[in-house]
């Protein structure tokens, strides 16, 4: 059996999306918590960066998807400046993936489908939270949860119009693997000319 942890981590002829899926699948086996957690970096109107952890909820050659309240800081910043950076760090595997690219909203159909898949309490929580706005105390939040739980009772809970998702369309993907004596392995894929709807990926190794 191949030891997937100790073998050469980054193949020389890999498709970046297939390689990402392979690494994510291994993380799902080995990481103790949230293998789909990723740091999301955005900038405000003054170019000041902000970073926070979000959860990857879909991925493929069309991009990497997450969901949020559209009134949140990250959503407002992405709407104003549709570029972002992502970082996956799987500490137990000593691996990370860095992604930069443009950002676009997901379709209403995508957002509806994912929202419908969430636990009922999470759907109520989406209605109750005024994400990123000041909160006087936890009692205020709990009262809003109770309010919307009563409003929807046992009926359907529609997706709020202020809750949806974004897709980061990668232009650069870097795979990093820890190796002894800090001789880490780094391979970067950069989208070649032709744009995200054409052309392929150019690959090069980087010094650690």
Q: 114 and 86 in contact (C-beta within 8 Å)?
A: no
Q: Are 148 and 128 in contact (CB under 8 A)?
A: yes
Rg of the chain over all Cα atoms, to the nearest angstrom: 19
Please say whether the beta carbons of 40 and 84 come within 8 A. yes
**Site of tokens 């929807």:** 152
Rounded-to-integer distance, Cα 24 and Cα 9, Å:
13
User: Residue 58: beta bridge partners?
Assistant: 65
Q: Three-state SS for 12? A: coil
Helix (H) or strand (E) holding 14: none
Helices (H), 31-137: 73-80, 108-117, 120-128
Active site residue 167: no
Backbone angles phi, psi at 32, to 5 degrees: -75, -25
Distance separating alpha carbons of residues 39 and 87, to the nearest angstrom: 5
Of the residues 159, 182, 186, 205, which is catalytic? 182
Which positions are annotated as active-site residues? 182
């Amino acid at each position: 059996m191949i030891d997937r942890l100790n073998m050469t981590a980054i193949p020389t002829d890999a498709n970046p999306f297939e390689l990402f899926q392979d690494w994510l699948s291994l993380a799902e086996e080995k990481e103790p918590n949230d293998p789909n957690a990723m740091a999301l970096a955005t900038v405000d109107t003054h170019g000041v960066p902000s970073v926070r952890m979000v959860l990857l909820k879909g991925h493929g050659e069309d991009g990497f998807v997450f969901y949020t309240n559209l009134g949140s800081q990250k959503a407002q910043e992405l709407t104003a400046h549709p570029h972002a950076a992502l970082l996956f760090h799987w500490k137990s595997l000593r691996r990370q993936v860095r992604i930069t690219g443009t950002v676009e909203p997901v379709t209403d159909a995508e957002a509806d489908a994912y929202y419908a898949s969430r636990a009922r309490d999470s759907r109520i929580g989406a209605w109750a939270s005024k994400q990123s706005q000041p909160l006087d105390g936890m009692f205020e939040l709990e009262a809003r949860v109770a309010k919307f739980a009563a409003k929807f009772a046992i009926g359907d809970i529609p997706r709020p119009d202020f809750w949806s998702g974004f897709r980061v369309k990668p232009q650069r993907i870097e795979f990093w693997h820890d190796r002894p004596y800090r001789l880490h392995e780094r391979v970067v894929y950069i989208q070649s000319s032709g744009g995200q709807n054409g052309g392929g990926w150019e690959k090069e190794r980087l010094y650690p």
